[in-house]
Amino acid sequence: MFQEGLMSVFDPDLNQVIKTEIDQVEDANWIKIMMGEGELIERYQQHIDESDSYTLIKYHSLHNDPLRHGITIKIKEESIEYINIDLLGNEMIQITIKDIEINQKIDDEFFNGFIPSNAEIIQ
């Protein structure tokens, strides 16, 4: 969850919520790119592949960082379909986005239930 420059990450195995500033999370480069942060974009090379049905926006580290060397965003029908984050070796995180409603107001109660009330909060 993102709110005013803060990011909350829930780890269900530890039953913990870690709240931190987005700038302090190294693995959050894809978030920074999505937010259009110029400094980060300058550290990545952008390449756009377009087809009739989708667009791939690829970012590769200009500094050959082996831990975070690639981010791919697939856009289909003007919405993000997925974000792939390449990690060390052949590991990858894929964030798939489904059932999108654009520019809808999200009530604060929407997030209730995602995080258990007994979760430890670390700030």
Set out the domains of the chain in order of their start, with CATH numbers: 2-122 (2.50.20.10)
pLDDT of residue 49: 94
Q: In angstroms, what CA-CA distances link 101 with 78, 80, 97, 104?
A: 12, 11, 11, 6
Predicted local confidence at residue 104, as pLDDT: 75
Torsion angle of C-alpha atoms 10, 14, 18, 22, degrees rounded to 10 = -60
Convert the pLDDT of each residue in 10-19 to its tens digit: 788 888 887 7
Cβ atoms < 10 Å from Cβ of 51: 8
The pLDDT assigned to 19 comes to 79
Average model confidence (pLDDT) across the chain: 75
